Structure 1
């Protein structure tokens, strides 16, 4: 650890945990990562305590990157309790392309990680329609 930023993934339900599992399926196990899921029955005070316990397990000497699922949700609001940590970056929009980019580049400085997250958001989405697939099929037919 020590040479890479710590990562905390937070979401409604088990999304953060399963996103981590999916990323590890692709690129292998990751150290210095914790997840926190918020469920309907959870008590906010208990969640704050759990959050503190999870962060205490992490080596944050190179910084802490917190990624939540949505802006304005309970996970993002809870992350606000971490503002006293140096080199803290809190981002919303947890998704697999972003998480892979983060895991593969977490040895970078926090400012560079911030840039990488922004690029991952911009390049991580593709919208395809039936017309797109038809055009590809027609192009493939022309090549043959």
Structure 2
């Protein structure tokens, strides 16, 4: 099963994980969270992220989700990428996470694709109805 690691600012990843557990009605055992604070040493957090990836990877690979392209969490996550084994998608949102977890029994490339489409399709501009 593909592991999923969220690396985010502060408690965002934990909040997303809590919401995903609520939506899915289960606690995913292939999910880990690493919150990064302003005062954290990125090299230390990278070592922690590497340990989490190692713990999640059963040979199926790991999808790392980060919150914002260019931010410290994403920069840390980018240092984990190993094509075909550890992949990274930035811009995590709840639909992306739920989709990744729902398809995590599939191959890593499928999980990446499902996560991206879930994230994109989960953003929708609601046009107000005329009254």
> What TM-score comes out, normalization by structure 2 length?
0.89
Matched, 1:90 2:53: no
Partners of 1:95 and 1:127 lie apart in 2 by 15
Report the 3-state secondary structure (helix = DSSP H, G, I; strand = E; otherwise coil) of the residue aligned with 2:64. strand
Out of 11, 14, 19, the residue aligned to residue 14 of structure 1 is 11
- CA spacing shift, 1:84–1:97, aligned 2, 3 Å: closer
SS at match of 1:19: helix
Which residue matches 1:109?
107
The alpha carbon displacement at 1:81 in A equals 2.3
Q: CA RMSD in A?
A: 1.7
Q: Give the alignment's TM-score, normalised by structure 1.
A: 0.81
Q: What is the deviation of 1:58? A: 1.6
Residue 47 (structure 1) aligns with: 45
Rate the CA distance shift 1:122–1:48 in 2: closer, same or farther, 3 A: closer
- 5+ residue gaps, structure 2, are none
In 1: Cα distance, 2:7 partner to 2:63 partner: 11
* More helix, by proportion: 1
Q: Tell me the number of residue pairs that the alignment of Structure 1 and Structure 2 aligns.
A: 130
Higher Cα Rg, which structure: 1
State how far apart, in whole Å, the 2-side matches of 1:57 and 1:111 are. Answer: 20
Pick one of 112, 117, 121 that aligns with 1:119. 117
Partner of 1:24: 21
